[in-house]
């Protein structure tokens, strides 16, 4: 991105912002459609859609604005690997928390 004119760089930034805005608008539209037309449907598919699209936006932002797309593979992996471990840790803690909540509820039933 350093080998271009100022106008080309500005056009690229606006293109990136446009793509991110379209994906965000799609997320909002999906949430509103679920809320308005399908309130009784399971919410897990909507959550999965949000997770996938948010991860895609984060990757796109990191690859373009942090210039990871133009870096060496080892550099990109050294930045992306901790991010993936963080996501894995959040999922693991939520899973474990759900397990402990179910144990607590089962112990309260036995009392």
pLDDT top residue among 66 and 8: 8
Q: What pTM value is reported for the model?
A: 0.60
Quote the pLDDT of residue 75.
73
Whether 61 has a pLDDT exceeding 80, the answer reads yes
Quote the pLDDT of residue 20.
93
Query: What distance separates the 2 farthest-apart alpha carbons in the chain?
Result: 73
Give mean pLDDT, residues 76-89: 84
Q: For 3-29, how does the pLDDT look when each residue is reduced to its tens digit (9 = 90+)?
A: 678 888 889 889 999 999 999 999 999
Quote the pLDDT of residue 66.
76
Whether 63 has a pLDDT exceeding 60, the answer reads yes
Give mean pLDDT, residues 34-60: 88
Q: Binning pLDDT at 50, 70 and 90, where does residue 2 land? A: low
**Domain residue limits, the chain:** 1-70, 72-111
Whether 1 has a pLDDT exceeding 70, the answer reads no
């Amino acid at each position: 991105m350093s080998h271009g004119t100022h106008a080309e760089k500005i056009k690229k930034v606006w293109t990136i912002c446009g793509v991110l805005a379209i994906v965000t608008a799609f997320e909002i539209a999906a949430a509103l459609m679920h809320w308005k037309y399908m309130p009784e449907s399971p919410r897990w598919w909507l959550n999965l859609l949000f997770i996938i699209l948010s991860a895609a936006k984060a990757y796109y932002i990191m690859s373009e604005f942090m210039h990871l797309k133009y870096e060496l593979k080892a550099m990109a992996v050294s930045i992306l690997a901790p991010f993936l471990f963080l996501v894995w840790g959040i999922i693991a803690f939520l899973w474990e928390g759900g397990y402990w909540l179910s144990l607590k509820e089962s112990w309260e039933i036995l009392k």
